[in-house]
Amino acid sequence: MKNKILWIDDEIELLRSHIIFLTEKGYDVDTSANGYDALEKIGNKEYDLIFLDEMMPGMGGLETLSKIKEINPNVPVVMVTKSEEESLMNEAIGSKIADYLIKPVLPSQVLLVCKKLLEKKKISGEHLAKDYLQAFNEISRKLMDNLNYREWIDLYLELVNWDLELDMNNDQNLRQMLNEQRKESNKEFSKFVEKNYLDWLETGDAPILSPQIMSKYVFDEIKNAEGPVFFFVLDCLRMDQWLVIEKNLLDYFLITKDYYYSIIPTATPYSRNALFSGLFPSEIEKQHPELWRTGKDDEHSQNKYEKELLQHLLDRNRIKLRTDLKYMKIIDPAVGRSFEQNVSSHRNTHFMAVVVNFLDMLVHGRSDSDILKEIAPDEAAYRSLTNSWFLHSSLFGTFRKIAAMKNAKVIITTDHGSIRVHRGAKVLGDREASKNLRFKFGRNLKVDDKHALFIRKPLQYKLPERGVTINYIIAKEDYYFVYPTDYHKYLSYYKDTFQHGGISMEEMILPVIKMESRA
């Protein structure tokens, strides 16, 4: 079906060649010599695009524009004028025009505007499909190579960026191709981690891991600080979620990024304690047994001593603070709002660590809430929900207030990400085995080696032994553990939920962000 265009100009006969040109290009073009006639036509017919002369006798262009928007607020209007005055441009743009052309107008300019406003989505989709098919082949080739940990970061970033591109284009075929490619990539990534993880713990040629975050990214900022240094840990933040959030902060901060790998299991008691302590879990248990609790299988109960672990880390590295270490854990909106209101009082604080638990609660809440599953049925919707939360969150307000502080710096990271699980892995174990869906520890654990990494000697992986006969299993790819009892019930219940604790790009490859105020 042809796109319908209305061109309003009191000298419309002088534009006859433009009208013919657009008609030959496949557009259905009506004309009007004044605003009154134009408004009558707009009231009786739906137009896809309107060209509007700014200088017309009687009802002028801006007045006509206002009345057009009253009739059809969504129709794009292109203002055409002889004037190049900035004030007029600002007035027109403020009146919600879609574009602006200066007379004399060339046919090629008119065609470009039409394509941009009427065919952009179609043309962009065609180019997107072509570009992704080329990228698909290149990524498939890379998966056949022996990628190192740096190349895996690059490949994951490429997949994430394609995710964000496809969010703006509703091409289900391309989306399905990308999902299948990510699934294949996680299969190869799991093999890569299983093969190399022990070497990372023993040799220098390894990615930055959780215990190195403070020494690599935070200590120097503390030592050289002229203003406050804030260290935010956004629990369970994925790379794609950060890239969505980041766009909202570009007006306030200069932002740089690096990337690191979470230790396994990619679960809060392990990865976040390692992050704050600068130690692997087995080292925490040995050096600070009073701060490592093994009795409860509960993430939050095992992360009660983050401030104490952080203080020990600063002391071991002789990091002297001008003021006492500040620590805040934001676990509900009221705490977040209170911190937002009072964050300016920390302008003289040397160093403050802040843990934000909302995203982790969103992951766990989605598993149990039909409403959240409906709101965020897939990764694209999950990203959209994250962005909506952030825009209206106290965290965004807090960042804006920090941006106004003199010499303030912000470092942001996460302890682990999450993955949307699709395939159940049947696991056998005794009643004392932990209840986690992506990792477990216990006696007599049995699971298919294709679905999980089996750890028989925890100390080799720098994990607490928890007893002589205790083993760990870590889920690979998008598998989740299900016991044989009521197998199909729980298989269905947890399928398509976001989980963490296992081995996948989404859980392990994580951003570290440095933000400096533009003020």
277's enclosing H/E stretch is helix 268-277
pLDDT-derived band at 149, boundaries 50, 70, 90: very high
Please write the tens of the pLDDT for every residue from 210-257: 999 999 999 999 999 999 999 999 999 999 999 999 999 999 999 999
Q: What is the CA radius of gyration of the chain?
A: 29
Contacts for 441 with CB less than 8 Å, ≥ 6 apart:
433, 434, 458, 466, 470, 471, 472, 473
**The domain at 4-118 falls in which architecture?**
3-Layer(aba) Sandwich (3.40)
Looking at residue 486, its pLDDT comes to 86
The answer to whether residues 248 and 254 touch, using CB atoms and an 8 Å cutoff, is no
- Please report the DSSP string for 68-127 in residue order: HHHH-TTS-EEEEES---HHHHHHHHHTT-SEEEESSPPHHHHHHHHHHHHSHHHHHHHH
pLDDT score of 489 more than 70: yes
Number of neighbouring beta carbons within 10 Å of residue 45:
10
pLDDT-derived band at 85, boundaries 50, 70, 90: low
pLDDT score of 300 more than 70: no
The answer to whether residues 282 and 463 touch, using CB atoms and an 8 Å cutoff, is yes
CA pair distance 155, 454, nearest whole angstrom: 26
Looking at residue 119, its pLDDT comes to 82
For tokens 């980041």, name the residue: 246
The answer to whether residues 408 and 402 touch, using CB atoms and an 8 Å cutoff, is yes
Contacts for 213 with CB less than 8 Å, ≥ 6 apart:
260, 275, 413, 512
For tokens 């638990």, name the residue: 357
- Please report the DSSP string for 353-418 in residue order: EEEE-HHHHHHHHHHH-HHHHHH--SHHHHHHHHHHHHHTSHHHHHHHHHHTSTT-EEEEE-S---
Please write the tens of the pLDDT for every residue from 99-127: 888 888 888 899 989 988 888 777 777 77
The average confidence (pLDDT) of the chain is 90
The answer to whether residues 389 and 362 touch, using CB atoms and an 8 Å cutoff, is yes
| Percentage of the chain exceeding pLDDT 90 | 66
The vertex-256 CA angle with 254 and 262, nearest 5°, equals 140
What is the arithmetic mean of pLDDT over 342-354? 96
CA pair distance 126, 132, nearest whole angstrom: 10
| Percentage of the chain exceeding pLDDT 70 | 94
User: Which SS3 state, helix, strand or coil, does residue 227 take?
Assistant: coil
Give the neighbor-by-neighbor strand order of the sheet with 409-413: 253-261, 509-517, 409-413, 229-234, 351-356, 326-330
Q: b/e per residue, 314-334, with b = 16+ CB within 10 A?
A: beeeebebeeebbbbbbeeee
For tokens 């996460």, name the residue: 414
> In whole angstroms, what separates CA 347 from the centre of its chain?
29
Looking at residue 2, its pLDDT comes to 86
Contacts for 270 with CB less than 8 Å, ≥ 6 apart:
263, 264, 281, 463
What is the model's pTM?
0.83
The answer to whether residues 348 and 354 touch, using CB atoms and an 8 Å cutoff, is no
Number of neighbouring beta carbons within 10 Å of residue 119:
14
CA pair distance 393, 234, nearest whole angstrom: 13
Contacts for 229 with CB less than 8 Å, ≥ 6 apart:
218, 221, 222, 350, 351, 352, 408, 409, 410, 411
The answer to whether residues 32 and 53 touch, using CB atoms and an 8 Å cutoff, is no
470's enclosing H/E stretch is none
Q: Look at 22-31, 352-361, 371-380 and tell me which has the smallest mean pLDDT.
A: 371-380
Looking at residue 127, its pLDDT comes to 79
Contacts for 29 with CB less than 8 Å, ≥ 6 apart:
5, 6, 7, 19, 22, 23
**Strand duo 77-81 + 409-413: pairing:** unpaired
- 472 Rama class: left (phi>0) / alpha (psi -120 to 50) / beta: beta
Number of neighbouring beta carbons within 10 Å of residue 27:
19
CA pair distance 456, 471, nearest whole angstrom: 5
Looking at residue 252, its pLDDT comes to 95
CA pair distance 195, 218, nearest whole angstrom: 30
pLDDT score of 290 more than 60: yes
Looking at residue 243, its pLDDT comes to 96
pLDDT-derived band at 295, boundaries 50, 70, 90: very low
Compute φ and ψ for 432, nearest 5 degrees.
-85, -5
Closest CA to 399 of 510, 519, 310, 222: 519
User: Which SS3 state, helix, strand or coil, does residue 255 take?
Assistant: strand
CA pair distance 501, 105, nearest whole angstrom: 60
Burial of residue 111, with CB atoms counted within 10 A of its CB: 0-12 exposed, 13-18 middle, 19 or more buried: middle
